[in-house]
Structure 1
Amino acid sequence: MALWAICYPLITLSLPYAPIMLTAFIRAAMAGCTLILIAVLLGRPAPKGIKEYGYILAIGITATSIGFWGMFYAGSLITPGLATVLTNTQPLIAGILGWHLLNERIGKQALLGTLLGFAGIVVISAESLLAKESQPLSGVVFVVIAATGIASSNILLKKAANSIDILFAMGFQLLLGSIPLGLLMLLQAPLPSLNLNWEYTWILLTLAIPGTALPFIVWFWLMDKAPLYKLNVYSFLTPVFGLYFGYAYFSETLSPVQWLGILLIIGAIPMVTSLSRKPEA
């Protein structure tokens, strides 16, 4: 979550150099190609069956195409606070999907912890939510679609975990998922100019490798280690890390309300993750 959180200030820093969707396309494609190259050099087993590639394509569309589109474009149509709240409905959506598709039964304590974590997100975003700026309905719809896409990708990742090589799976899904992003970029405007200097190059490399490739690999590996609802509660930490980075490196201040939201999120995590598994009969 900390690695994903560093992407938000880097996206802001990239704006003077290239259109936002071009950065999203290059980020995903670069991360995908890097992972595929590593997999080939290590001699890892490539996916073979249609079913495996079907999972990879579906993950690429939901996690990368829809997820990145929501992060880069849809979120820019509404205030950051509302975008944060709507994006973080993803654990709630994934919990519902996991209940029906993965047969993961979330207990009352875990459900309460998840709702408490979401409440923390709402509290953190309260000041932006109360802003008097107009909130276009299209932006709200787009971000909800993006959150649903990410939740769906987590279900697919859970089903594919431990059955497809992790490097090829994440590499191909990022590369395939970048294609719709590139097409969207071209549909919005003619091929934009690219100011590829050293500063923008380092931003892209950081976005692609530690900001995308590495957290996707870790997340895919974790899918085989714990129920999805236990993992997803940690996603509430992404805006918390984002606030910390802004506080530590950009001299941003945190209000008492934001500190309250952070405490709610931190308190929610052990409520969900401390539950022990029921012994097998």
Structure 2
Amino acid sequence: MEQRTPPGLSAFALMILLCATWGYQQVSIKIASEGISPVLQSGLRSAIALLLLTLWARWRGLAFWQRDGTLRMGLLAGLLFAIEFLFIYLGLAYTTASRMIVFLYTAPCLTVLGLHWCVPGEQLRWRHLGGISLAFAGIVLAFAGKGGARPNAWIGDVLGVLAAVGWAATTVLIRASKLASISATRVLFYQLATSTALLLPIAPLVGEATIGALTLPVVLALAYQGVIVAFASYLTWFWLLTRHLTGRLMVFSFLTPLFGVAFGVLFLGERLTTSFIVAAICVATGIVLVNLPAAGSCDHRQ
């Protein structure tokens, strides 16, 4: 298995771009919900991305089906991926987007802990764990002051935690199994194909198959989720996972909800608070602690 290395400047830049892309997804989901039920959105975005990925792979001459023993793990990764987004979209019917993000973004902590115990070469030192804790504290600080929780918000909160578990389990599974040795294209294909096959039939069963007015903003928001997020950004993310230590990359995920708040300020007129500025500093400091090499060491396994 190819040895992963700590991310460099190019990986840092890509991760920041990805986090900004994922942060805006919260805005796009709200916009698309004006015309398309949330769970149906999730299935449609997977279907759109699956179509694009298939066309892109054919253009590149890449094959999805090979007898290499990854089918079972690939289907399991796809199931976890589908469950994650089913919980997210269902949870948003009960709780606010801000509360959902808080619980969903416990996933990086769960992932790093899982990798620490399950994947050789991903063990973290106390300094790294301290950086992750500081980044997580920043997330809590950023959203602790946001109120307006809906009735039965705890249902959405629980679904957010379950979604985080699904996300973390997916990442650990990919890194700890044969999926780590195949192309990012095939890993994403497993996830998109399985989630499309599951989420589209589930949508009408849970009363989430409504399509209303397909205005231009609604269509563009759905296209953003399918083309930019589920296709381009996820393909890039899995490509990074095949080359760099996952624990070091996952800490950047803490930036995503902060980007989400920033986009809320820019596009929804929300007020930028002092707590958010302090939270951003905590997250940035946590990233530095996790990614700084040990003094006098060139060990890429640290």
TM-score by length of 1: 0.90
Equivalent pair of 1:113/1:271 in contact (CA under 8 Å)? yes
Matches within 5 A, 1:242-281: 242-276=260-294, 278=299
> C-alpha distance in 2, partners of 1:105/1:226?
13
- Let me know the Cα RMSD of the aligned residues: 2.2
Shift in Å at residue 267 of structure 1? 1.3
> Which sits farther off after the overlay, 203-212 or 8-17?
203-212
> Which sits farther off after the overlay, 19-28 or 73-82?
73-82
> C-alpha distance in 2, partners of 1:134/1:193?
26
> Which sits farther off after the overlay, 38-47 or 266-275?
38-47
> C-alpha distance in 2, partners of 1:5/1:57?
27
Identify the match of residue 156 of structure 2 among 139, 158, 167.
139
Equivalent pair of 1:5/1:238 in contact (CA under 8 Å)? yes
Identify the match of residue 232 of structure 1 among 250, 258, 282.
250
> C-alpha distance in 2, partners of 1:101/1:47?
27
Matches within 5 A, 1:101-120: 101-103=118-120, 104-120=122-138
Cα 1:161–1:178, aligned 2, differ >3 Å: closer, same or farther?
same
1:171 aligned onto 2:189: yes
Identity, in percent, stands at: 23
2:72 aligns to what SS in structure 1? helix
> C-alpha distance in 2, partners of 1:101/1:152?
11
After superposition, give the CA deviation of every residue in 1:20-61 in whole Å (9 maximum; x if it has no partner). 111111011111121012101221132312622223212211
> C-alpha distance in 1, partners of 2:169/2:42?
20
2:181 aligns to what SS in structure 1? coil
Matches within 5 A, 1:148-163: 148-158=165-175, 159-160=177-178, 163=181
> C-alpha distance in 1, partners of 2:52/2:259?
26
Cα 1:279–1:79, aligned 2, differ >3 Å: closer, same or farther?
closer
Code of the residue aligned with 1:94 in structure 2: it is T
> C-alpha distance in 1, partners of 2:151/2:182?
45
> C-alpha distance in 2, partners of 1:56/1:255?
43
Cα 1:191–1:228, aligned 2, differ >3 Å: closer, same or farther?
closer
Matches within 5 A, 1:7-22: 7-22=25-40
> C-alpha distance in 2, partners of 1:173/1:114?
27
> C-alpha distance in 2, partners of 1:149/1:107?
25
> C-alpha distance in 1, partners of 2:212/2:68?
37
> Which sits farther off after the overlay, 7-16 or 114-123?
7-16
Code of the residue aligned with 1:23 in structure 2: it is Q
Counterpart of 2:12?
A: none
Identify the match of residue 101 of structure 2 among 41, 63, 84.
84
2:70 aligns to what SS in structure 1? helix
Shift in Å at residue 146 of structure 1? 0.7
Equivalent pair of 2:31/2:217 in contact (CA under 8 Å)? no
> Which sits farther off after the overlay, 155-164 or 242-251?
155-164
> C-alpha distance in 1, partners of 2:265/2:208?
38
Code of the residue aligned with 2:270 in structure 1: it is E
> Which sits farther off after the overlay, 208-217 or 106-115?
208-217
Cα 1:140–1:50, aligned 2, differ >3 Å: closer, same or farther?
farther
Consecutive unaligned residues of structure 2, counting only runs of 5 or more, are 1-18
Query: Number of aligned pairs?
Result: 278
Equivalent pair of 1:27/1:208 in contact (CA under 8 Å)? yes
After superposition, give the CA deviation of every residue in 1:176-211 in whole Å (9 maximum; x if it has no partner). 112222232111128533433443322221111112
Cα 1:106–1:49, aligned 2, differ >3 Å: closer, same or farther?
same
Equivalent pair of 2:179/2:187 in contact (CA under 8 Å)? no
1:43 aligned onto 2:61: yes
Code of the residue aligned with 2:275 in structure 1: it is V
Code of the residue aligned with 1:206 in structure 2: it is Y
Runs of 4+ deviating beyond 6 Å: none
